Structure 1
Amino acid sequence: MSNWIDRAQGLTDMDPQSRAILQGLPVTNLTKGHALFHPGEAARGFAIVLSGRIEVYLIGPTGREILLYGIEPGQSCVQSTLGLLGAADYTGEAVTTSEVELVLVPRDMFLTLIETAPVFRAFVFGAFATRMQSMMELLERVAFQKVESRLAAALLDQAQDDVVHTTHAELATRIGTAREVVSRRLDILVKRGLVRQDRGLVTVTNRPGLVALAEIDAP
């Protein structure tokens, strides 16, 4: 019998009856780049992430993407929760960005546990509230924060030892703009001495300056 519940952040204190309902569900292993759902599909279940990261994107009619949020252990997918509770189809696309272990709770079991298991219900709605707050912050950044500031924040967030391995298209998706806009803004950051560009990576050369830029109009 799998003991995956003991690894599930937020669910380890579930009562024995609720644990028994979930315990037999299998752990699914996914490779990097696996698509969990696409726009227009119905929600099949609630994903409990045990390890790895999934990213959810909104895709516009022109094909341009914006990163809505990432899902890691202890976090939830707003689109799945809305789909299971309100029978709404997905409007975004979810893709694994690393190897992922997850457990998919089927719709009927999810709804039963929402009604009968306080710990499960608290996990679902607590994670939902946290995710909605982060999406409101994303909306504020896209609506009110300058592109340069959003770009600076994205570079700082992804930098490892002041190096960001990324493309202009990936940065555009993360900050909600076009690739051409990112290219122009990066050129400006280079001229200001804040970063250096090389093929496939960006190096932070003036961290205090980039931090100051990221904080302008930040929510």
Structure 2
Amino acid sequence: SMDIAEVVKTNFPQLASSTSLIEEIGKIGVLNDYDKNTIVLKENAYIKAIPLLITGLIKIYKEEENGNEVLLYYIKPGETCIVSVMAGEKNKKAKVKGVVEEDCSVILIPKSKLFNLRKNFPNWNLYIYEQFNDKFDEVIDMVKVLTFSKKEKRLEDYLIKKSALNKSKTVNKSHQEIANELGSSREVISRLLKKLEKEGKIELSLRKIQIL
């Protein structure tokens, strides 16, 4: 429809750089709205359509056995869900969950049309590649955050254990020594120690850490 073609032109510049692709999406796309908290991607379910997000925000995450959520990435306006694209193309079940974080509008592309898009529209492929690239970067950032917070926890545990072993509130170690023992770098340990000091958990002096 004319509607969808206009929406593509306004919100998806990469797709809009090909007139024939705009026309194709106009023919096969379906406009849809989802309210906040709607589950749009179920774990272990097959994909029926993939979303091109016009407005709003969708959160893609994995649920661990213990019920913890691990955030993978957000789908923002102008983006699509690469997990859905891959699962749809291969007719496999999704291994992650997707929930609407902010009310959203989407263009839905039926799964059955993905192969044709990939086969006949180079701009579609370029768009998908860029999406992979962006999301990969986002996932890497998440991994960094996770390992950083794990390190902070490990450092705290280490200091508590050391002080218990020495029956003293003072740990006489250099940042480098702690880094070596925790398999980390001095820079990371120094940064984490400063953070703990700011939080009022420890006091730092030369080669000495006072646990408060």
TM-score tier, shorter chain, comes to: 0.5 to 0.7
Partner residue of 1:192 out of 185, 197, 200: 200
Q: Which residue of 2 aligns with 1:68?
A: 72
Percent of aligned pairs with the same residue? 14
Q: Which residue of 1 aligns with 2:35?
A: 31
Per the TM alignment, residue 104 of structure 1 is displaced from its structure 2 partner at its CA by 1.0
C-alpha RMSD of the superposition? 2.4
DSSP-derived class of the 1:48 partner: strand
* Matches for 1:124-143 after TM superposition, within 5 Å: 124-142=128-146
| CA distance 1:148–1:74, change in 2 (3 Å) | farther
Q: Check whether the contact 2:30–2:109 (CA below 8 A) recurs between aligned residues.
A: no
CA offsets 1:10-35 (integer angstroms, 9 cap, x no match) = 222123x3222211323111111111
Per the TM alignment, residue 139 of structure 1 is displaced from its structure 2 partner at its CA by 2.4
Partner residue of 2:23 out of 5, 20, 23: 20
Q: Is the radius of gyration larger for structure 1 or structure 2?
A: 2
* Unpaired runs of at least 5, structure 1: 151-187, 194-219
Q: Does 1:4 align with 2:12?
A: no
Report the Cα distance in structure 1 between the residues aligned to 2:200 and 2:100, rounded to whole angstroms: 35
Residue identity opposite 2:79 in structure 1:
Q
Instruction: Give me the TM-score of the superposition, normalised by structure 1.
Output: 0.63
CA offsets 1:64-93 (integer angstroms, 9 cap, x no match) = 111111001122323112202332211111
Report the Cα distance in structure 2 between the residues aligned to 1:6 and 1:128, rounded to whole angstroms: 21
* Unpaired runs of at least 5, structure 2: 154-195, 202-212
Aligned residues: 154
Report the Cα distance in structure 2 between the residues aligned to 1:189 and 1:69, rounded to whole angstroms: 31
| CA distance 1:190–1:29, change in 2 (3 Å) | farther
Per the TM alignment, residue 189 of structure 1 is displaced from its structure 2 partner at its CA by 8.8
Instruction: Give me the TM-score of the superposition, normalised by structure 2.
Output: 0.65
Partner residue of 2:149 out of 146, 149, 152: 146
